[in-house]
Amino acid sequence: MKTLNRRDFLKLSLAAGVTALGGYTLYEYAPWLNYDQQVEQTWKPLEKESAMSAQMGELVRYATLAPNSHNTQPWKFAIKENAIEIHPDYTRRLPIVDPKDRELWISLGCALENLVIAARVSGYASEVTYPDANSEFIGLRLAKNTPITDTLFDAIPLRQNTRSEYDGHPIKKGDLDQIEALPLEPGVVLRLITNPTDLETALEYVNQGNLSQYAAEAFLDELIYWLRFNERESLASLDGLFTRCSGNPTLPRWLGEIFVSGTKPQQQADTDAKKLRSSPGAVIIASESEDKATWVRTGQVYERIALKMTSLNTKSAFLNQPI
C-alpha cells in the first residue's frame, strides 16, 4: 500500500518541471529555485478533479496544510478505493518535547479536520473511524454527496501561526460568539479567556514551561534540529520551522545554532509574556482523557477554531509550553 505525505506531493509536482535537468534531486538542492514560487505551489487552491482517485489526491494535499508540531508533518496518507487513511509517521516523532506522542496525534487530528472539510466542499460525505486498541490509524470513508460551501474551507490555505506581538484590540463580541458556538468533539473541552487576571494565571504556566524547556539541553538540540535558518534549508527539507516565519532573519546554520543555543530561559519567557499580554484573549483546549482517539478529536477542535478565527481575520498562535 503506497503512502504519501506533503513532501512526496511537492517533490512529484516539481519533478515534472525539472526531469530534463535530471529529476527532482536538482529541485531539492539547487540554489537557483524561487522560494516564493515554491510557497505558492504548496498553498495553491484546491483543484476540482473529475476522477475520484485524482480528487482524493487533492484532498490529501489540503489535509497536509494542517498545523503540526514543529512542522514535522508526522503523517502518512494511504489512498484506497472510496477511502483515505491517515497513519502516524513515528520516524518524525519528537521524543523530547512530545514523549507520549500526544501532540503527534493532535497533529493528525488537525489534518483529519482539513480532510473532512475539503471532502464536504468537494461533494463527499465522510465517515470517520478513530484509532483504538486494534487500529493505529484514522480511517475516512467517502461517499458521493452534494457539494456545500464552507468558510472554513476557504480559510485552510490562509491559516497561519502569527508568532508576534498583537495590537491588543478587543475581539468583537459577535466574533467571540461565533468561536464559542463552534461544535466540539466528544471528550474535548474549551475555555475562552478574556479577563486580564485569568490571562496572567495562564501566563504563569507559559512562563514555567519556558523556564523548564529552555534550561534543558536536549530540548534545545531537538528544536535546533527542526529549525530551518534560510530558504535553501527550507526548500531542501520541505519541513521544519522556517525561522523567517517567526520574524527572525535568515542566517547560515552555524550562526543560527549559536543564537538559539544561547537563548536564556528567562529571555524566552519574557518574549512570550509580551506576546500574550498584547493579546485580548486566549483559548485553552483540553481533552478529558488521554487516548489516541481523544487526542485526534482535540486536534480537530483546534483546527476548527483556528480556521474560524482565520475566516474572521483574527490572528492566533500557539503558546503550548505548559503541555
Predicted confidence (pLDDT) per residue in 257-266, tens digit:
999 999 999 9
Q: Which residue has the higher pLDDT, 42 or 111?
A: 111
Q: Assess if residue 11 is contained within a domain.
A: yes
Q: Assess if residue 109 is contained within a domain.
A: yes
d(CA 227, CA 223): 6
Structural domain boundaries enclosing 178: 173-311
Residue 106 CB partners (closer than 8 Å, separation 6+)? 69, 295, 296, 298, 299, 302
Query: pLDDT value at position 133?
Result: 86
Query: pLDDT value at position 310?
Result: 97
Query: pLDDT value at position 27?
Result: 41
Judge whether residue 11 has pLDDT over 90: no
Share of the chain above pLDDT 90, in %: 78
Residues 205 and 65 in one domain: no
Residues 36 and 81 in one domain: yes
Residues 24 and 109 in one domain: yes
Judge whether residue 18 has pLDDT over 90: no
Query: pLDDT value at position 8?
Result: 67
Residues 146 and 186 in one domain: no
Give 23's pLDDT tier (boundaries 50, 70, 90): very low
Residues 7 and 142 in one domain: yes
Residues 208 and 294 in one domain: yes
d(CA 221, CA 214): 10
Neighbours of 148 (CB within 10 A): 10
Residues 280 and 193 in one domain: yes
Residue type, 159: R
Please state the domain count of the chain.
2
Residues 93 and 205 in one domain: no
Residues 58 and 103 in one domain: yes
Contact 274, 185 (CB under 8 A): no
Residue type, 11: K
Residues 8 and 147 in one domain: yes
What 3 state SS string does the chain have? Answer: CCEECHHHHHHHHHHHHHHHHCCHHHHHHCCCCCHHHHHHHHCCCCCCCCCHHHHHHHHHHHHCCCCCHHHCCCEEEEEECCEEEEEECHHHCCCCCCCCCHHHHHHHHHHHHHHHHHHHHCCEEEEEECCECCECCEEEEEEECCCCCCHHHHHCCCCCCCCCCCCCCCCCHHHHHHHHCCCCCCCEEEEEECCHHHHHHHHHHHHHHHHHHCCCHHHHHHHHHHEECCHHHHHHHCCCEEHHHHCCCCCCHHHHHHHHHCCCHHHHHHHHHHHHHCCCCEEEEEECCCCHHHHHHHHHHHHHHHHHHHHCCCCCCCCCCCC
Q: What are the pLDDT digits (tens) for 99-125?
A: 999 999 999 999 999 999 999 999 999
- Range with the poorest average pLDDT among 89-98, 152-161, 244-253, 296-305: 244-253
Contact 69, 94 (CB under 8 A): yes
Q: Any idea what the CATH number is for the domain that residue 131 is in?
A: 3.40.109.30
Q: What number is the average pLDDT over the span 264-290? A: 95
CA 47 vs CA 13, 72, 92, 125: distances in Å? 14, 25, 29, 18
Judge whether residue 14 has pLDDT over 60: no
The pTM score is 0.90
Residues 93 and 217 in one domain: no
